[in-house]
Amino acid sequence: MESYKCVVYDEKNKRKIINLEFESEDDVLKYAKVNNLKLSSVKKKRKLFSTRKKLSSKDLKILCKEIGILLESGSEITGLFQVLEKQANKKLKPVIKQISNGIQAGNSITESFRDTNAFSKFFISMVHTGELSSNLDQVMYTLSDYYDKEAQLKGKVKSASVYPIILCVATILSVLAMLFLVIPKYEEVYSQSTVEMLHMTQIMICSSKFIRNNFILIILIGFILTISIIHLIKNNEDLRRDIYKTLFKVPQLGDYMLMNITNKFSKALYILIKSGVEIVNAIEISAKVVDKKYIYDVILDANNSIKEGNKIGESLNDINLFPTMFITMVSVGEESGKLEEALEMINKFYEGEIDQKTEVTMKYFETGITLVMGLIVGVVVIAMVIPMFNMVSAI
């Protein structure tokens, strides 16, 4: 989502300045048209950190499930959200209230969801499909299953990340302990000795002394540099694209990222096609689920090729993004007229593969951190202990 500062004129020609959050400027134009606002200017706001509270996969899973159950039981749409509002958590309550107010004001369900700026374009498109087909309850069940699987995957990634994070913290604490506790002790001993120290030892002692004397300043500079780099990356699309391309080339990590992208895209595409959305619209919406501008642009190239009459499989293959197996399955499904079934099989395959890939990637990460920790400890031991042996030998 991007933030936009808009100067608009309402039906009474009264000038207003409003702040909106949408995925693109086109969505801002659509919002203005729906709400009978005349746009005078639209300016994208640059923010270092997003202030909008994003609904978690777990929140969305629960919300969709409850809406599906209430709709299936025959509840009226106007009273349904009032019921949900009473039992919602603090994050969901204002969102549900805004949806309820929108419906009571005469807006469509889709418009009421969209106006909250809390839901993705994929979600809004699914709601719109359900509303048009009078099949919103089943669409909500489908979305609930989708976000349930997404929440499970995120949970597994978090669980697998616990040990590497502990190792990182342990490494940082070990380095600080050596700088502030261990090396100063050796420094005190060596300062009273006439034995010549190794260059490595001298560098280690000088580095430790410099860091101890300027620790606050170093932390402050590091913080400012981090904020500056984040700001630079956030506001430079070419740089973000280059970083993303570089990460794709990193062993294990690149494979994991590609598999995750393919899984997200395939799941969204399957759900949209199953719900009756046209293929070109389904691909464009599914590309936004990946939430990376670089990937979106690449997939959009394939979509433009499909609009020109080329085959889906060939168009997706030409962008050199997705794995061969994905392209093959899509091509087979397209040729046989069973694309929906092919995508369902792809989703089942990648669910298991991602679990396995997550474990393998984290194992590599753990090994890397362990090696770094061992290297740091080894260098300190060599630099500080060998001169001690020389001192003993000189006695």
Cα–Cα dist 205/223, whole Å: 25
Quick one: which of 141, 128, 107 has its CA closest to 278?
A: 128
Report residue 387 as tokens: 């001169």
The pLDDT of residue 356: 83
- pLDDT tens for 12-50 read 888 888 888 776 777 788 888 888 888 888 887 655 444
H-run or E-run covering 258: helix 253-274
Cα–Cα dist 72/112, whole Å: 20
Report residue 235 as tokens: 């506001």
Output the DSSP codes for 67-82. HHHHHHTT--HHHHHH
Quick one: which of 144, 192, 189 has its CA closest to 384?
A: 189
For each of the chain's 395 residues, which pLDDT tens digit applies?
Answer: 567 888 888 888 888 888 887 767 777 888 888 888 888 888 876 554 444 457 889 999 999 999 999 999 998 888 888 889 888 888 889 899 889 888 888 889 999 998 888 898 889 888 988 888 888 998 899 899 989 988 888 888 888 888 888 888 988 898 888 889 888 888 888 887 776 777 888 888 898 899 999 999 999 999 999 999 998 988 887 888 888 888 888 888 888 888 888 988 998 899 888 888 889 988 988 888 877 778 888 999 999 999 999 999 999 999 998 999 999 999 999 999 999 999 999 988 888 888 788 888 888 888 888 898 888 888 888 888 877 777 766 65
The amino acid at residue 251 is P
SS3 116: coil
Q: What is the CATH number of domain 57-148?
A: 1.20.81.30
- pLDDT tens for 231-286 read 898 888 788 888 888 888 888 888 888 888 898 899 889 988 888 888 998 898 88
The pLDDT of residue 23: 61
Quick one: which of 9, 384, 16 has its CA closest to 201?
A: 384
Quick one: which of 31, 53, 54 has its CA closest to 42?
A: 31
The pLDDT of residue 50: 47
Residue-range domain boundaries for the chain: 2-45, 57-148, 149-395
Cα–Cα dist 49/53, whole Å: 11
- Phi/psi for 159 (5° steps) reads -65, -45
Tell me whether the CATH fold assigned to 57-148 matches the one assigned to 149-395.
Answer: yes
Domain 149-395, classified CATH 1.20.81.30, yes or no: yes
The pLDDT of residue 257: 87
